[in-house]
Amino acid sequence: MARIHPSAVVLGDVTIHPEAEIGPFCVIEGCPGPVRIGAGTRLLHRVTVQGPCTIGERNTVYPGVTLGLPPQDLGFSPSEPGPGLVIGSDNVFREGVTIHRGKTQLATKVGNHNYFMVNSHAGHDCVIGDRNIFANGTLLAGHVEVADKVIMGGNATVHQFCRVGRGAFVGGLTGFSLDLPPFFMTTGINIAGSINVVGMRRSGMSRSDIDTVKWVYKVLQRSQLPKLAKIEELRTRAGDPVVDEYIAFVESAKRGIVPGEGTVMRGSAAGGE
């Protein structure tokens, strides 16, 4: 039987796996939609979960976290369930993290092995992949898409409907209102002034693939070619999986991509590269 502290409040349609743990003063509301909590997941204490919300296995949820509460949208009634929130497995949510449920056709989604540090936030309809790190105060607006192995520095911000490519690095106190391609690094507000070389090395990328990313970066961020000409330049090396990933990313960017030039903020994460 699940370990549920006597002070915890469990209401409505809630299913808790026998190997889960619900700590003191947690509130789990199976309304306006159901809540499902998987094996090995631990809600330490003073955690709030509201349905519809599905939480996978072996997640650790620290005090003050709220999961599945309604979107911060004046046009959305808190009594509406919406599509909810779906969380994978092996995630860590540190103190004060807030993730809201979706309001459109699809649920807000969090994948596996993500680490959300203190007071980070993901808005409604966000889609987050695997093995990402969100430092303290990271803010993801609604409908943001984050791929895999992304690192976001403290107090980084992402505008709604933006995408963050895999392996990207968002420097602390930076943000953007365009799409950030894979392995690019922000060095200021709406400036991708570098690439995440350290992250690529740590991920085990080959030297040739890292060199390919450097070439792509020069084409997209340093050349004076117009956008369509830049894509055509990338197509000269189509068939390379790394290049093909960038072609697909750029072509599907509805907001454009973060440029590589501008005034770089002092003390940015890219300074040591």
Q: Reduced to 3 states, what is the DSSP secondary structure of residue 91?
A: coil
Interatomic CA distance for residues 15 and 30, integer angstroms:
9
Interatomic CA distance for residues 251 and 126, integer angstroms:
21
Q: Is 179 a catalytic site residue?
A: no
Alpha-carbon dihedral of residues 183, 159, 173, 184, nearest 10 degrees?
A: 10
Residue of 90, 125, 148, 179 with catalytic role: 125
The angle at the Cα of 255, spanning 81 to 205, to the nearest 5 degrees, equals 95
- Per-residue DSSP letters for 186-254? E-BTTB--EE-HHHHHHTT--HHHHHHHHHHHIIIII----HHHHHHHHHTTTTSHHHHHHHHHHHT-S
Q: Is 159 a catalytic site residue?
A: no
Q: Is 64 a catalytic site residue?
A: no
Residue of 124, 137, 171, 188 with catalytic role: 124
Q: How many CB atoms lie within 10 A of CB 39?
A: 14
Cα distances (angstroms) measured from residue 2 to each of 19, 67, 134: 5, 20, 30
- Per-residue DSSP letters for 145-173? EE-SS-EE-TT-EE-TT-EE-TT-EE-TT
Residue of 23, 68, 142, 193 with catalytic role: 142
The residues carrying an active-site annotation are 124-125, 142
